Structure 1
Amino acid sequence: MVRHLHDSNRKMPLEGDSQFKQLKKVYEDANEMAGKTLGVVGLGRIGIETIKIGIGLGMNVIAYDKFIPTKDIQLNFFDGQSLTFHIKSVDSLETIYKQSDFISFHVPAQDGYLVGEAEFKMMKNGAMIVNAARGGVIDEKALVKALDAG
């Protein structure tokens, strides 16, 4: 998604011989994950594993969970060492929307959308969303409108 791997794995074998220089220019513009902000909504089991991946990629991680104010996350390494990260839930979803380059949702079924037109307007340009939660978290009509708007 961020590194254009899906597209490059498809196009390079087909067009790499004839258009290598053009394709290389397109794919070298990929984003690095390190230093970007990952916003995780939901500090359950899957949200915690997502945070571990973000930390491993060198991302700045912020999280929101209205039921879990803090969580200690332990990363275990191959040589028996481990590090514990203290994750404190931010005060509001608005903070997640405004600060995150990537937002990943890991919440149970909701009444109403967590992301609608107003929330999309708060997000950074180019913010990426992963909805690993159930349907109904994101207003799909607002999503299409936001994508069309750029």
Structure 2
Amino acid sequence: MTSSECEGWDNVACEGTDHCPPRCPRYVDDEGDAVLIRPYRESAFESLLKMYDAIETSTMALPPNDPDDREAWLRRLVTDGWNLIATRGDDIIGHVAVVPADAAEPEFAIFVHPAYQNRGIGTELLKHVVARAVDRDHNELHLNVSRKR
């Protein structure tokens, strides 16, 4: 990581403000790369879909293998839930969805781009989910893990 990438990232003394999210969105992964975790916006849909297109699905139940099914599945996640994305520069490298958004005990799904796995990004996304779930008064979160369909 170059020094220009690090400018403004030393948040050791940060005390936050009333406008801060429940957890600092800035994160440096295990490889030293700067990552920003932020709420999903509709303008990011195509980039998010592109991330899912890079995920090998032959051994997992989700995301769906078929491109049309995958797009419909992702559309449901971003419409019915609250979502966070992890970005490195302009690239989306991780996503977590909590659905349905208004449930006391929603389910969540989490994915990290294959090129960025094993760098602590999924763990950081989970920390954000827990912090925001508490902030949103969710009683519990549920995660279902399944293999190939």
User: Normalising TM by the smaller chain, what interval?
Assistant: under 0.3
Q: Between Structure 1 and Structure 2, whose CA radius of gyration is higher?
A: 1
Q: Flag the structure with higher helix content.
A: 1
Larger relative contact order (CA 8 Å, sep ≥ 6): 2
TM-score, with length taken from structure 1: 0.26
TM-score, with length taken from structure 2: 0.27
